A and B are shown apart, each in its own frame.
Chain A
């Protein structure tokens, strides 16, 4: 296992529910990412946080709301989701140091099913 953990691993929710995904990295990194992976599309970058500030938001619907309270934790708050939001949500972290060769480390993902 990598130094990035995600909870829960599986989540089933109705369209009117509110839930949150949690990610924690134990690697001392200063950047964290949310990706969506679905059967129809390759990995889609959703959000990037660098030093706890959001630096990227790839036109993600407002029903997804990220939160990064510190450099080790990242949340994805979910509300009024649609069935097409069912996917594997992956969290990753990396060290931003001005060098482009630092790889990202991924968590195991949360498998989300929206009914």
Chain B
């Protein structure tokens, strides 16, 4: 069975500093990995995905994520955080053997302070 872990419930970063939101996964085959962001009172918005190819994936709003197969990780990163990046971030994985079902992590709340 596929699973996703986001080990940090909350990450605090000062504006302008780099940020990292961690995600590790477990799948039986090749992983298809996604990051979503949820702003208050809103649904989830797609940020980026890893399917194959370059391990560094670039997405919306200046975010990027690094796929590391040996560490089964897909950490979300941004070189310089903005206060407006404060939101709830979800990592998700789709296993080829699981049809089109996504398994989501528990979410990490990112707080960027001025």
Interface residues of A (CB under 8 A from B): 2, 4, 6, 31, 42-43, 45, 48, 50, 55-56, 90, 92, 94, 96, 100-109, 111
What CA separation (Å) do A60 and B99 show in the bound complex? 20
B95 to chain A, nearest CB (A): 8
The 10 A-B residue pairs whose C-beta atoms are closest, nearest first, are: A106-B43, A42-B106, A43-B104, A106-B44, A101-B51, A103-B46, A108-B43, A100-B32, A107-B43, A109-B43
Q: Do residues B102 and A104 form an inter-chain contact, with CB atoms below 8 A?
A: yes
Q: Do residues A94 and B101 form an inter-chain contact, with CB atoms below 8 A?
A: no
What CA separation (Å) do A55 and B41 show in the bound complex? 29
Interface contact tally, CB-CB below 8 A: 54
B21 to chain A, nearest CB (A): 15
B interface residues, tally (CB under 8 Å): 22
Q: Do residues B46 and A105 form an inter-chain contact, with CB atoms below 8 A?
A: yes
Among B90, B96, B104, the residue within 8 A (CB) of A100 is B96
Q: Contacts A42-B105, A101-B32 known; A108 to B49 CB distance under 8 Å?
A: no
Q: Do residues B43 and A90 form an inter-chain contact, with CB atoms below 8 A?
A: yes
Q: Do residues B100 and A106 form an inter-chain contact, with CB atoms below 8 A?
A: no
Given contacts A56-B101, A103-B46, 14 further A-B contacts (CB under 8 A): A2-B45, A42-B90, A43-B90, A48-B100, A55-B99, A90-B44, A100-B94, A102-B100, A106-B43, A106-B45, A108-B41, A108-B43, A109-B43, A111-B41
Closest chain B residue, CB of each to CB of A58: B101
> What chain A residues lie within 8 Å of B90 (beta carbons)?
42-43
A3 to chain B, nearest CB (A): 11
